[in-house]
Amino acid sequence: MSPHPVTPVPTADLYDEYGEDLGICATPFRRIGGRRLFAGPVRTLRCHEDNALLRQLVHTPGEGAVLVVDGGGSLRTALVGDLLAGAAAASGWAGLIVNGAVRDSVALGELDLGVQALGTCPRKSGKTGAGTVDEPVTIGGVTFRAGDTVHVDDDGIVVLPAGH
């Protein structure tokens, strides 16, 4: 991962430049975190209603990366709350994209961290440690791969494949 943060570029401008080479996520995520625009190299995590691996990852140096968490679209439990999001912000992550639920949304909105999620749920998730890290995940018709670059703004989430 590059230790240098990626400057967010408006997603519409990226589309104008890259056209169909750009992956456009069709999932209607909600902006929940305090950072409205964010971008960075992709890291991925696949977990279902269990955030033990997520807890480990957000305590490692984020180096400006965006963690894409594929929770399978479950809104039954929250994968991220204020403590994990606060750890991610403190560890230098640019943002979290959660294909699932979060909680403590008011506190998340006050953090200098991009957080996009499907919704909210007050229920905590499991803690077994099940899941995989840095394997490709497909959400909203686009595949996120470690090393790709993701840009997020109010118009959407786009992925620029590595090498562009």
Contact assessment for residue 140 and residue 116, using Cβ atoms and an 8 Å cutoff:
no
- The annotation places the binding site at 81-84, 103-104
| Chain segment 123-162, per-residue pLDDT in tens | 999 988 889 999 999 999 999 999 999 999 999 999 999 8
Indicate whether 3 pLDDT > 60.
no
Structural domains of the chain ordered from first start: 11-160 (3.50.30.40)
What's the pTM value of the predicted model, to 2 decimals? 0.96
Averaged pLDDT, 96-108: 98
Residue 85, pLDDT > 70, answer yes
Q: Please give the average per-residue pLDDT across 20-34, as a whole number.
A: 96
The binding site for substrate comprises 81-84, 103
Q: What integer pLDDT is reported at residue 141 of this predicted model?
A: 97
Which segments are annotated as binding site for Mg(2+)?
A: 104
Residue 80, pLDDT > 90, answer yes
pLDDT at 4: 63
Q: Distance (Å, rounded) from C-alpha 137 to C-alpha 73?
A: 12
- Confidence at 36, pLDDT banded by 50, 70, 90: very high
Q: Which pLDDT score, from 0 to 100, does residue 164 have?
A: 79
Give the span between the Cα atoms of 49 and 62, in whole angstroms: 23
If you average pLDDT over every residue of the chain, what do you get?
Answer: 95
